[in-house]
Amino acid sequence: MDFQLILDEINAELRPQLATAGGKVASYIPALARVSPLQFGIALRTCGGKTAAAGDSATPFSIQSMSKVFSLTLAIRALGEAMWDRIGREPSGSPFNSLVQLESERGIPRNPFINAGAIAVADRLVSQGDAKAELLALLSRLCGEAVHIDAEVARSEADTGFRNTALANFMKGFGTLDNDAATVLDVYFNQCAIAMTCEQVACAAGFLCRDGRHPLAGTPVLSAAQTRRVNALMLTCGTYDAAGEFAFRIGLPCKSGVGGGIVAVVPDQLSLCVWSPALDPTGNSLLGRRALELFVAKTGLSVF
Ligand code: DON
């Protein structure tokens, strides 16, 4: 399959829609509100190491909730099965920052990809060591390039992260957070503020399409069984209350972020990242979702 041709076609088809598609950049984090919505990038890397990219694929953007895949990976590596002691594995059917479910379920987040779940994962990483440094080191190793935190975005998150602060305090109140809420939130805000390009994310997610093996070195990042589980969670929980619609229309494990990125996995074939900052009402990239639909239609690649 000529992936470069396919990505060029998708870019050519979607780029004219940038001005008219609608959607809104995330505005509840002021530093993200300043990003131009008129950008679209797409990149992939096959299990065999072939790459293809089109549009703004080399422009760094805020990975936001896509970081949750990698923090979960670190926590599974460190804790194994114990990672799941106080974190569920069911779709939430609620917005990613919802407080209601966490209250009624007594501080146990539904899954590691909603904000409460990712804050709980950050808590477990804080107990293990220098979580921020370890996450940056993992991402840098996985994509073969140094990856950084955008300090302005991190500050902006911390200044306006009222709902996340409430989620962390709820968990602390229920006794399901081990560490100090402020320390855990600092890790969470900084992981969301990591900046990467589509090309870097597509490479970094490569272990998810190759049974857990490092995309560049071939060494194990996760076991094959652990990798299947991360992919299953991405499919069922990776795009919040749009996960059913994503499975129905796209049929690939995906994880989105409010920076407008979506990382997707075709097991045994390739990993893919699309980015366009304007979001639909569920907080997922509007043109990113369209790009994935086009990709699946053009290639026939899907887990179903
Ligand atoms: O905590 C937040 O609200 C953001 N830093 C991340 C949310 C996010 O990316 C959800 N994604 N769709």
pLDDT at 97: 84
Tell me the three-class secondary structure of the chain, residue by residue: CCHHHHHHHHHHHHHHHCCCCCCECCCCCHHHHCCCCCCCEEEEEECCCCEEEEECCCCCEECHHHHHHHHHHHHHHHHHHHHHCCCCCCCCCCCCCCCHHHHHCCCCCCCCCCHHHHHHHHHHHHHHCCHHHHHHHHHHHHHCCCCEECHHHHHHHHHHCHHHHHHHHHHHHHCCCCCCHHHHHHHHHHHHCEEECHHHHHHHHHHHHCCCECCCCCCECCCHHHHHHHHHHHHHHCCHHHHHHHHHHCCCCEEECCCCEEEEEECCCEEEEEECCCECCCCCEHHHHHHHHHHHHHHCCCCC
Bridging pattern class, strands 270-275 and 261-266? antiparallel
Q: What is the pLDDT of residues 128-180, one digit of tens each?
A: 999 999 999 999 999 999 999 999 999 999 999 999 999 999 999 999 999 99
Choice among 65, 92, 276, 285 that is catalytic? 65
Among 211, 259, 186, CA closest to 27: 259
Residue range 250-262: average pLDDT?
A: 97
> Which atom of ligand 1 lies nearest, measured to the CA of 256?
12
pLDDT at 8: 98
Q: Examine the residue annotation and report whether 188 is marked as an active-site residue of this protein.
A: yes
- What are 28's two structure tokens? 């509840």
**Where does ligand 1 bind, in terms of residues with CB under 6 Å?**
64-65, 96-97, 115, 157, 164, 192, 256-258, 283
pLDDT at 21: 86
- Kindly report whether the global pTM for this prediction surpasses the value 0.85: yes
Among 79, 132, 89, CA closest to 113: 89
The reply, when asked if residue 157 is annotated as ligand binding, is yes
Length of the chain: 304
In angstroms, what is the span from residue 194 Cα to ligand 1's centroid?
12
Of 70, 96, 263, the one to substitute when testing ligand 1's pocket (max ligand atoms within 8 A of C-beta) is 96
Q: What is the pLDDT of residues 22-36, one digit of tens each?
A: 899 998 899 999 999
> Which atom of ligand 1 lies nearest, measured to the CA of 283?
12
Q: Report the distance separating Cα 164 and Cα 288, nearest Å.
A: 25
Q: What is the pLDDT of residues 83-130, one digit of tens each?
A: 999 999 999 888 888 889 999 999 999 999 999 999 999 999 999 999
- What are 259's two structure tokens? 């920076």
User: Is pLDDT at 45 greater than 90 in this prediction?
Assistant: yes
Q: Report the distance separating Cα 218 and Cα 127, nearest Å.
A: 28
Q: Report the distance separating Cα 285 and Cα 80, nearest Å.
A: 32
With b meaning 16 or more CB within 10 Å and e meaning fewer, what string describes 210-245? bbbbbbbeeeebbeeebbbebbebbbbbbbbbbbee
Of 65, 71, 275, the one to substitute when testing ligand 1's pocket (max ligand atoms within 8 A of C-beta) is 65
Tell me what percent of the residues of the chain surpass a pLDDT of 70: 100
Q: Examine the residue annotation and report whether 57 is marked as an active-site residue of this protein.
A: no
